[in-house]
Amino acid sequence: MSIQKIILLIILFVLSISTCRSNNLEEFGHDFQAYPSYLESFIEGNNIQDEIIHYFNNIKMVENKVKLIDVSSFGAKGDGNTDDTKAFEQAWQDACSSNTPVNFVVQQNKNYLLKNVHFLGPCKSFISMQIFGTLEASDNMSDYNNDRRHWILFENVENLVVGGGGTINGNGNIWWQNSCKINKNLPCKDTPTALTFYNCNKLKVKNLKIKNAQQIHVSFETCTNVEASNLMINSPENSPNTDGIHVANTHNIQISSATIGTGDDCISITSGSQKVHATDITCGPGHGISIGSLGSGNSEAHVSDINVYGAKFYGTTNGLRIKTWQGGSGSASNIKFQHIDMEGVENPIIIDQNYCDQNDPCKDQNSAVKVKNVVYQNIKGTSATDVAIKFDCSKNFPCEGITMENVNLVGENGTSKAICKNVQFNYTQHVSPYCPAEESFQDWLLNYINS
Protein backbone atom coordinates (compact mmCIF):
# COMPACT_ATOMS: atom_id res chain seq x y z
CA MET A 1 0.00 0.00 0.00
CA SER A 2 1.41 3.44 -0.92
CA ILE A 3 2.22 5.98 1.78
CA GLN A 4 -0.44 8.33 0.37
CA LYS A 5 -3.13 5.69 0.82
CA ILE A 6 -1.95 5.03 4.37
CA ILE A 7 -2.13 8.72 5.20
CA LEU A 8 -5.62 9.04 3.76
CA LEU A 9 -6.76 6.09 5.87
CA ILE A 10 -5.29 7.74 8.97
CA ILE A 11 -7.09 10.97 8.13
CA LEU A 12 -10.40 9.17 7.73
CA PHE A 13 -9.87 7.38 11.05
CA VAL A 14 -9.13 10.62 12.86
CA LEU A 15 -12.20 12.26 11.38
CA SER A 16 -14.34 9.31 12.35
CA ILE A 17 -13.53 9.80 16.04
CA SER A 18 -14.35 13.52 15.97
CA THR A 19 -17.87 13.98 17.25
CA CYS A 20 -19.82 17.01 18.23
CA ARG A 21 -19.62 17.99 21.88
CA SER A 22 -22.85 18.28 23.79
CA ASN A 23 -22.31 21.72 25.32
CA ASN A 24 -24.23 24.81 24.20
CA LEU A 25 -27.29 22.74 23.27
CA GLU A 26 -29.51 25.22 25.05
CA GLU A 27 -29.00 27.80 22.31
CA PHE A 28 -31.31 25.86 20.02
CA GLY A 29 -34.53 26.43 21.94
CA HIS A 30 -35.49 22.72 22.03
CA ASP A 31 -35.09 20.22 24.80
CA PHE A 32 -32.85 17.90 22.86
CA GLN A 33 -32.51 15.70 25.94
CA ALA A 34 -35.83 14.30 24.75
CA TYR A 35 -33.90 12.55 22.00
CA PRO A 36 -31.26 10.45 23.79
CA SER A 37 -30.64 8.20 20.78
CA TYR A 38 -29.25 11.22 18.99
CA LEU A 39 -27.42 12.89 21.84
CA GLU A 40 -25.62 9.71 22.80
CA SER A 41 -23.63 10.12 19.58
CA PHE A 42 -22.04 13.26 21.02
CA ILE A 43 -19.08 12.47 23.24
CA GLU A 44 -18.47 14.18 26.55
CA GLY A 45 -14.73 14.21 25.96
CA ASN A 46 -12.07 16.83 26.30
CA ASN A 47 -10.92 19.35 23.72
CA ILE A 48 -11.71 17.66 20.40
CA GLN A 49 -9.98 20.37 18.39
CA ASP A 50 -6.67 19.85 20.19
CA GLU A 51 -7.04 16.08 19.81
CA ILE A 52 -7.50 16.22 16.05
CA ILE A 53 -4.78 18.83 15.54
CA HIS A 54 -2.49 16.64 17.64
CA TYR A 55 -3.13 13.69 15.33
CA PHE A 56 -2.60 15.76 12.21
CA ASN A 57 0.56 17.32 13.58
CA ASN A 58 1.93 13.87 14.33
CA ILE A 59 1.20 12.76 10.78
CA LYS A 60 2.87 15.87 9.43
CA MET A 61 5.92 15.35 11.58
CA VAL A 62 6.29 11.77 10.40
CA GLU A 63 5.72 12.12 6.68
CA ASN A 64 5.06 15.83 6.09
CA LYS A 65 2.09 14.81 3.97
CA VAL A 66 -0.78 16.65 5.65
CA LYS A 67 -1.10 20.40 5.49
CA LEU A 68 -2.66 22.24 8.44
CA ILE A 69 -4.43 25.48 7.50
CA ASP A 70 -5.85 27.69 10.24
CA VAL A 71 -8.03 30.63 9.13
CA SER A 72 -6.48 32.73 11.91
CA SER A 73 -3.19 32.59 10.01
CA PHE A 74 -4.90 34.45 7.18
CA GLY A 75 -6.16 37.26 9.39
CA ALA A 76 -9.50 35.92 10.58
CA LYS A 77 -10.32 37.58 13.92
CA GLY A 78 -13.35 35.59 15.07
CA ASP A 79 -14.54 38.45 17.26
CA GLY A 80 -18.08 38.55 15.87
CA ASN A 81 -17.62 42.10 14.52
CA THR A 82 -14.81 41.95 11.97
CA ASP A 83 -15.66 40.76 8.47
CA ASP A 84 -13.64 37.54 8.09
CA THR A 85 -14.85 36.69 4.58
CA LYS A 86 -11.58 37.46 2.76
CA ALA A 87 -9.52 35.50 5.28
CA PHE A 88 -11.69 32.42 4.68
CA GLU A 89 -11.46 32.81 0.92
CA GLN A 90 -7.68 33.14 1.02
CA ALA A 91 -7.34 30.15 3.33
CA TRP A 92 -9.52 28.11 0.96
CA GLN A 93 -7.42 29.06 -2.05
CA ASP A 94 -4.35 27.80 -0.23
CA ALA A 95 -6.15 24.59 0.78
CA CYS A 96 -7.60 23.92 -2.64
CA SER A 97 -4.26 24.34 -4.39
CA SER A 98 -2.42 21.98 -2.04
CA ASN A 99 -1.05 18.79 -3.55
CA THR A 100 -1.30 17.04 -0.18
CA PRO A 101 -4.32 16.42 2.06
CA VAL A 102 -5.45 19.44 4.07
CA ASN A 103 -6.90 19.91 7.53
CA PHE A 104 -8.69 23.28 7.38
CA VAL A 105 -9.28 24.50 10.95
CA VAL A 106 -11.82 27.02 12.23
CA GLN A 107 -10.94 27.59 15.88
CA GLN A 108 -13.34 27.00 18.75
CA ASN A 109 -14.62 29.73 21.09
CA LYS A 110 -14.59 32.21 18.23
CA ASN A 111 -17.41 33.78 16.22
CA TYR A 112 -16.50 34.43 12.58
CA LEU A 113 -18.65 37.02 10.79
CA LEU A 114 -19.08 36.21 7.10
CA LYS A 115 -20.74 37.67 4.04
CA ASN A 116 -21.25 35.44 0.98
CA VAL A 117 -18.37 32.98 0.84
CA HIS A 118 -17.77 30.70 -2.14
CA PHE A 119 -15.49 27.66 -1.76
CA LEU A 120 -14.83 26.74 -5.36
CA GLY A 121 -13.22 23.55 -6.70
CA PRO A 122 -11.97 21.40 -8.20
CA CYS A 123 -9.21 21.03 -5.64
CA LYS A 124 -6.01 19.05 -5.93
CA SER A 125 -6.36 16.88 -2.83
CA PHE A 126 -8.53 15.72 0.04
CA ILE A 127 -9.81 18.54 2.33
CA SER A 128 -11.21 18.19 5.82
CA MET A 129 -12.79 21.43 7.10
CA GLN A 130 -13.16 21.22 10.87
CA ILE A 131 -15.47 23.95 12.18
CA PHE A 132 -14.96 24.11 15.93
CA GLY A 133 -16.20 27.66 16.42
CA THR A 134 -19.20 29.56 15.03
CA LEU A 135 -19.76 30.92 11.54
CA GLU A 136 -22.27 33.77 11.67
CA ALA A 137 -23.92 35.39 8.67
CA SER A 138 -23.97 39.13 8.20
CA ASP A 139 -27.46 40.47 8.81
CA ASN A 140 -26.95 43.36 6.38
CA MET A 141 -29.10 42.36 3.41
CA SER A 142 -27.11 44.61 1.05
CA ASP A 143 -24.06 42.37 1.65
CA TYR A 144 -25.84 39.77 -0.50
CA ASN A 145 -26.53 41.93 -3.55
CA ASN A 146 -24.08 39.93 -5.67
CA ASP A 147 -25.70 36.61 -4.73
CA ARG A 148 -29.02 36.50 -2.90
CA ARG A 149 -29.33 32.71 -3.20
CA HIS A 150 -26.29 31.52 -1.24
CA TRP A 151 -24.47 32.36 1.95
CA ILE A 152 -21.88 29.54 2.23
CA LEU A 153 -21.40 27.64 -1.04
CA PHE A 154 -19.15 24.67 -1.81
CA GLU A 155 -19.02 24.05 -5.55
CA ASN A 156 -17.30 21.39 -7.68
CA VAL A 157 -15.38 19.88 -4.75
CA GLU A 158 -14.51 16.19 -4.49
CA ASN A 159 -13.28 14.26 -1.44
CA LEU A 160 -14.49 16.80 1.10
CA VAL A 161 -15.35 16.47 4.80
CA VAL A 162 -17.08 19.31 6.66
CA GLY A 163 -17.59 18.80 10.38
CA GLY A 164 -16.07 19.59 13.75
CA GLY A 165 -19.01 20.10 16.10
CA GLY A 166 -19.25 23.86 15.63
CA THR A 167 -22.21 26.07 14.74
CA ILE A 168 -23.36 27.65 11.49
CA ASN A 169 -25.70 30.54 12.29
CA GLY A 170 -27.64 32.00 9.35
CA ASN A 171 -28.84 34.95 11.44
CA GLY A 172 -32.07 34.77 9.48
CA ASN A 173 -34.43 37.00 11.46
CA ILE A 174 -34.05 40.02 9.16
CA TRP A 175 -34.83 37.83 6.14
CA TRP A 176 -37.92 36.32 7.75
CA GLN A 177 -39.28 39.78 8.57
CA ASN A 178 -38.93 40.77 4.93
CA SER A 179 -40.42 37.58 3.50
CA CYS A 180 -43.50 37.81 1.29
CA LYS A 181 -44.86 34.83 3.22
CA ILE A 182 -44.82 36.87 6.41
CA ASN A 183 -45.79 40.23 4.89
CA LYS A 184 -48.10 39.71 1.93
CA ASN A 185 -47.54 43.32 0.83
CA LEU A 186 -43.88 42.69 0.08
CA PRO A 187 -42.61 41.31 -3.25
CA CYS A 188 -41.14 37.80 -3.20
CA LYS A 189 -37.36 37.89 -3.61
CA ASP A 190 -34.53 35.37 -3.50
CA THR A 191 -33.24 34.55 -0.05
CA PRO A 192 -29.92 32.83 0.73
CA THR A 193 -29.60 29.19 1.63
CA ALA A 194 -27.29 28.95 4.63
CA LEU A 195 -25.11 26.04 3.46
CA THR A 196 -25.10 24.75 -0.12
CA PHE A 197 -23.15 21.91 -1.68
CA TYR A 198 -23.35 22.04 -5.46
CA ASN A 199 -21.91 19.44 -7.83
CA CYS A 200 -19.84 17.80 -5.10
CA ASN A 201 -18.76 14.14 -5.07
CA LYS A 202 -17.57 11.92 -2.21
CA LEU A 203 -18.83 14.33 0.41
CA LYS A 204 -19.25 13.97 4.18
CA VAL A 205 -21.07 16.55 6.29
CA LYS A 206 -21.27 15.61 9.94
CA ASN A 207 -21.30 16.78 13.55
CA LEU A 208 -22.61 20.29 12.99
CA LYS A 209 -25.23 22.56 14.51
CA ILE A 210 -26.97 24.69 11.89
CA LYS A 211 -29.50 27.25 13.04
CA ASN A 212 -31.62 30.21 12.00
CA ALA A 213 -31.01 29.88 8.28
CA GLN A 214 -32.07 32.75 6.07
CA GLN A 215 -34.10 30.18 4.13
CA ILE A 216 -33.03 26.52 3.62
CA HIS A 217 -30.48 25.32 6.17
CA VAL A 218 -28.52 22.73 4.15
CA SER A 219 -28.95 21.99 0.45
CA PHE A 220 -27.35 19.19 -1.58
CA GLU A 221 -27.72 19.99 -5.27
CA THR A 222 -26.43 17.84 -8.13
CA CYS A 223 -24.19 15.89 -5.76
CA THR A 224 -23.20 12.22 -5.69
CA ASN A 225 -22.03 9.88 -2.92
CA VAL A 226 -22.99 11.96 0.09
CA GLU A 227 -23.04 11.15 3.80
CA ALA A 228 -24.79 13.61 6.11
CA SER A 229 -24.83 12.57 9.76
CA ASN A 230 -25.15 13.87 13.32
CA LEU A 231 -26.70 17.17 12.29
CA MET A 232 -28.70 19.36 14.65
CA ILE A 233 -30.81 21.85 12.69
CA ASN A 234 -33.04 24.45 14.27
CA SER A 235 -35.05 27.58 13.50
CA PRO A 236 -38.36 28.94 14.84
CA GLU A 237 -41.58 27.23 13.85
CA ASN A 238 -42.84 30.40 12.15
CA SER A 239 -39.70 31.03 10.09
CA PRO A 240 -40.66 30.85 6.38
CA ASN A 241 -39.17 28.33 3.92
CA THR A 242 -36.53 27.16 6.37
CA ASP A 243 -36.27 23.56 5.20
CA GLY A 244 -33.82 21.56 7.29
CA ILE A 245 -32.16 19.39 4.63
CA HIS A 246 -32.97 19.88 0.96
CA VAL A 247 -31.99 17.26 -1.62
CA ALA A 248 -32.18 18.16 -5.33
CA ASN A 249 -30.91 16.18 -8.31
CA THR A 250 -28.62 14.24 -5.99
CA HIS A 251 -27.76 10.53 -6.20
CA ASN A 252 -26.72 8.12 -3.48
CA ILE A 253 -27.09 10.17 -0.32
CA GLN A 254 -27.27 8.80 3.22
CA ILE A 255 -28.82 11.06 5.88
CA SER A 256 -28.55 9.69 9.42
CA SER A 257 -28.91 10.75 13.05
CA ALA A 258 -30.39 14.18 12.38
CA THR A 259 -32.53 16.21 14.77
CA ILE A 260 -34.45 18.87 12.87
CA GLY A 261 -36.92 21.52 14.00
CA THR A 262 -37.77 24.30 11.52
CA GLY A 263 -40.54 26.34 9.92
CA ASP A 264 -40.79 24.14 6.83
CA ASP A 265 -39.93 20.59 5.72
CA CYS A 266 -37.48 18.77 7.94
CA ILE A 267 -36.26 16.99 4.81
CA SER A 268 -37.36 17.84 1.27
CA ILE A 269 -36.49 15.65 -1.70
CA THR A 270 -37.05 17.10 -5.16
CA SER A 271 -36.67 16.26 -8.83
CA GLY A 272 -33.69 14.32 -10.11
CA SER A 273 -32.92 12.67 -6.78
CA GLN A 274 -32.27 8.93 -6.61
CA LYS A 275 -31.12 6.52 -3.91
CA VAL A 276 -31.90 8.75 -0.95
CA HIS A 277 -31.71 6.97 2.42
CA ALA A 278 -32.75 8.71 5.65
CA THR A 279 -32.39 6.91 8.99
CA ASP A 280 -32.72 7.89 12.65
CA ILE A 281 -34.45 11.21 11.96
CA THR A 282 -36.20 13.31 14.61
CA CYS A 283 -38.52 15.94 13.14
CA GLY A 284 -40.45 18.67 14.87
CA PRO A 285 -41.58 21.34 14.66
CA GLY A 286 -41.85 21.53 10.90
CA HIS A 287 -43.71 20.24 7.88
CA GLY A 288 -42.44 16.67 8.01
CA ILE A 289 -40.50 14.73 5.40
CA SER A 290 -41.63 15.68 1.91
CA ILE A 291 -41.01 14.27 -1.52
CA GLY A 292 -41.66 17.26 -3.70
CA SER A 293 -43.08 19.44 -4.61
CA LEU A 294 -42.82 17.96 -8.11
CA GLY A 295 -44.09 19.11 -11.49
CA SER A 296 -44.57 22.83 -10.87
CA GLY A 297 -45.03 24.97 -13.97
CA ASN A 298 -45.96 21.88 -16.04
CA SER A 299 -42.42 20.56 -15.62
CA GLU A 300 -41.20 16.97 -15.83
CA ALA A 301 -39.93 15.52 -12.56
CA HIS A 302 -38.45 12.18 -11.51
CA VAL A 303 -37.67 10.86 -8.04
CA SER A 304 -36.94 7.21 -7.24
CA ASP A 305 -35.51 4.79 -4.69
CA ILE A 306 -36.26 6.77 -1.55
CA ASN A 307 -36.04 4.99 1.81
CA VAL A 308 -37.00 6.59 5.13
CA TYR A 309 -36.24 4.09 7.88
CA GLY A 310 -36.61 5.01 11.53
CA ALA A 311 -38.06 8.49 12.06
CA LYS A 312 -39.92 10.28 14.84
CA PHE A 313 -42.30 13.18 14.30
CA TYR A 314 -43.45 15.51 17.07
CA GLY A 315 -46.21 18.05 16.46
CA THR A 316 -45.46 18.54 12.78
CA THR A 317 -48.01 19.78 10.24
CA ASN A 318 -47.27 16.73 8.08
CA GLY A 319 -45.58 13.42 8.58
CA LEU A 320 -44.79 11.48 5.40
CA ARG A 321 -45.82 13.59 2.42
CA ILE A 322 -45.63 13.27 -1.35
CA LYS A 323 -46.75 16.46 -3.11
CA THR A 324 -47.13 17.10 -6.84
CA TRP A 325 -48.64 19.88 -8.90
CA GLN A 326 -51.31 19.36 -11.52
CA GLY A 327 -49.98 19.68 -15.07
CA GLY A 328 -46.61 18.10 -14.36
CA SER A 329 -45.25 14.83 -15.73
CA GLY A 330 -42.75 12.15 -14.79
CA SER A 331 -42.85 9.91 -11.73
CA ALA A 332 -42.17 9.41 -8.04
CA SER A 333 -41.54 5.70 -7.58
CA ASN A 334 -40.01 3.00 -5.40
CA ILE A 335 -40.48 4.80 -2.10
CA LYS A 336 -40.41 3.18 1.35
CA PHE A 337 -41.46 4.61 4.71
CA GLN A 338 -40.66 2.13 7.48
CA HIS A 339 -40.55 2.11 11.29
CA ILE A 340 -42.04 5.53 11.91
CA ASP A 341 -43.38 7.00 15.19
CA MET A 342 -45.69 10.02 15.24
CA GLU A 343 -47.02 12.16 18.07
CA GLY A 344 -49.64 14.84 17.46
CA VAL A 345 -49.01 15.08 13.70
CA GLU A 346 -51.70 16.91 11.71
CA ASN A 347 -51.37 14.91 8.47
CA PRO A 348 -49.43 11.75 9.30
CA ILE A 349 -49.64 10.13 5.84
CA ILE A 350 -50.52 12.18 2.79
CA ILE A 351 -50.18 11.98 -0.98
CA ASP A 352 -51.34 15.24 -2.54
CA GLN A 353 -51.41 15.30 -6.32
CA ASN A 354 -53.33 18.57 -6.24
CA TYR A 355 -50.70 20.57 -4.41
CA CYS A 356 -51.05 24.32 -4.93
CA ASP A 357 -48.74 26.76 -3.15
CA GLN A 358 -49.73 30.08 -4.68
CA ASN A 359 -52.12 32.93 -4.01
CA ASP A 360 -54.39 32.26 -7.01
CA PRO A 361 -56.29 28.96 -7.24
CA CYS A 362 -54.62 26.35 -9.44
CA LYS A 363 -56.46 25.32 -12.58
CA ASP A 364 -57.56 21.74 -13.16
CA GLN A 365 -55.18 20.00 -15.58
CA ASN A 366 -55.15 16.54 -17.10
CA SER A 367 -51.51 15.55 -16.68
CA ALA A 368 -49.74 14.72 -13.42
CA VAL A 369 -46.56 13.29 -11.95
CA LYS A 370 -47.16 9.55 -11.55
CA VAL A 371 -46.90 8.20 -7.97
CA LYS A 372 -46.28 4.45 -7.82
CA ASN A 373 -44.79 1.68 -5.73
CA VAL A 374 -44.95 3.27 -2.29
CA VAL A 375 -44.60 1.21 0.90
CA TYR A 376 -45.86 2.27 4.35
CA GLN A 377 -44.75 -0.27 6.95
CA ASN A 378 -44.66 -0.33 10.76
CA ILE A 379 -46.03 3.16 11.32
CA LYS A 380 -47.76 4.10 14.55
CA GLY A 381 -48.74 7.09 16.63
CA THR A 382 -51.30 9.85 17.03
CA SER A 383 -52.89 12.26 14.60
CA ALA A 384 -53.74 15.82 15.65
CA THR A 385 -56.67 15.76 13.20
CA ASP A 386 -59.45 13.31 12.39
CA VAL A 387 -57.87 12.48 9.01
CA ALA A 388 -54.78 10.35 9.64
CA ILE A 389 -54.37 9.04 6.08
CA LYS A 390 -55.15 11.07 2.98
CA PHE A 391 -54.53 9.93 -0.58
CA ASP A 392 -55.69 12.71 -2.92
CA CYS A 393 -54.52 11.21 -6.20
CA SER A 394 -55.10 12.18 -9.82
CA LYS A 395 -58.04 10.71 -11.73
CA ASN A 396 -56.00 10.40 -14.93
CA PHE A 397 -52.80 9.25 -13.21
CA PRO A 398 -53.90 7.46 -10.04
CA CYS A 399 -51.54 6.36 -7.33
CA GLU A 400 -50.52 2.75 -8.08
CA GLY A 401 -48.89 -0.09 -6.19
CA ILE A 402 -49.48 1.30 -2.70
CA THR A 403 -48.57 -1.14 0.09
CA MET A 404 -49.61 -0.61 3.71
CA GLU A 405 -48.71 -2.99 6.52
CA ASN A 406 -48.86 -2.59 10.29
CA VAL A 407 -50.09 1.00 10.22
CA ASN A 408 -51.91 2.25 13.32
CA LEU A 409 -52.68 5.97 13.62
CA VAL A 410 -55.17 7.16 16.22
CA GLY A 411 -56.77 10.59 16.47
CA GLU A 412 -56.48 12.56 19.69
CA ASN A 413 -60.14 11.77 20.45
CA GLY A 414 -59.45 8.08 20.03
CA THR A 415 -60.74 7.77 16.47
CA SER A 416 -59.41 8.64 13.04
CA LYS A 417 -60.30 8.16 9.39
CA ALA A 418 -58.75 7.75 5.98
CA ILE A 419 -59.70 9.64 2.83
CA CYS A 420 -58.65 7.82 -0.32
CA LYS A 421 -59.25 9.09 -3.82
CA ASN A 422 -57.99 7.42 -7.03
CA VAL A 423 -55.59 5.06 -5.27
CA GLN A 424 -54.83 1.45 -6.16
CA PHE A 425 -53.47 -0.77 -3.42
CA ASN A 426 -51.02 -3.55 -4.03
CA TYR A 427 -51.31 -4.98 -0.51
CA THR A 428 -52.78 -3.99 2.84
CA GLN A 429 -52.63 -5.73 6.23
CA HIS A 430 -53.32 -4.48 9.76
CA VAL A 431 -54.09 -0.91 8.74
CA SER A 432 -56.04 1.56 10.88
CA PRO A 433 -57.69 3.71 9.76
CA TYR A 434 -58.35 1.93 6.50
CA CYS A 435 -59.68 3.38 3.28
CA PRO A 436 -63.47 3.04 2.93
CA ALA A 437 -63.07 1.38 -0.45
CA GLU A 438 -59.68 -0.10 -1.21
CA GLU A 439 -59.96 -0.62 -4.94
CA SER A 440 -57.85 -2.89 -7.04
CA PHE A 441 -56.42 -1.89 -10.39
CA GLN A 442 -59.17 -3.82 -12.16
CA ASP A 443 -61.87 -1.99 -10.18
CA TRP A 444 -60.30 1.36 -10.96
CA LEU A 445 -60.02 0.54 -14.65
CA LEU A 446 -63.68 -0.41 -14.86
CA ASN A 447 -64.72 2.71 -12.99
CA TYR A 448 -62.55 4.88 -15.19
CA ILE A 449 -63.96 3.36 -18.40
CA ASN A 450 -67.51 3.81 -17.18
CA SER A 451 -67.00 7.36 -15.97
**Which of 336, 315, 310 lies closest to 262, judged by CA?**
315
Axis crossing angle, helix 3-17 with helix 48-63, rounded to the nearest 10: 170
Q: Which helix (H) or strand (E) holds 161?
A: strand 158-163
Q: CA distances (Å), 429 to each of 301, 376, 402, 404, 408, in order?
A: 31, 11, 12, 6, 11
Q: How many CB atoms lie within 10 A of CB 23?
A: 10
**Which of 369, 296, 310, 309 lies closest to 335, judged by CA?**
309
Which residues are the active-site residues? 264, 287
- 69: CB partners within 8 A, 6+ apart: 91, 94, 95, 98, 102, 103, 104, 105
Measured CA to CA, the distance from residue 247 to residue 361 in angstroms comes to 28
Strand order from edge to edge, sheet including 117-120: 117-120, 150-155, 193-198, 218-221, 245-248, 267-269, 289-294, 320-325, 349-355, 387-392, 417-421
Q: Which phi and psi angles does 306 have, rounded to 5°?
A: -110, 130
- 424: CB partners within 8 A, 6+ apart: 398, 399, 400, 401, 402, 439, 440, 441, 444
- Residue pair 334/371 in contact (Cβ under 8 Å)? The answer is no
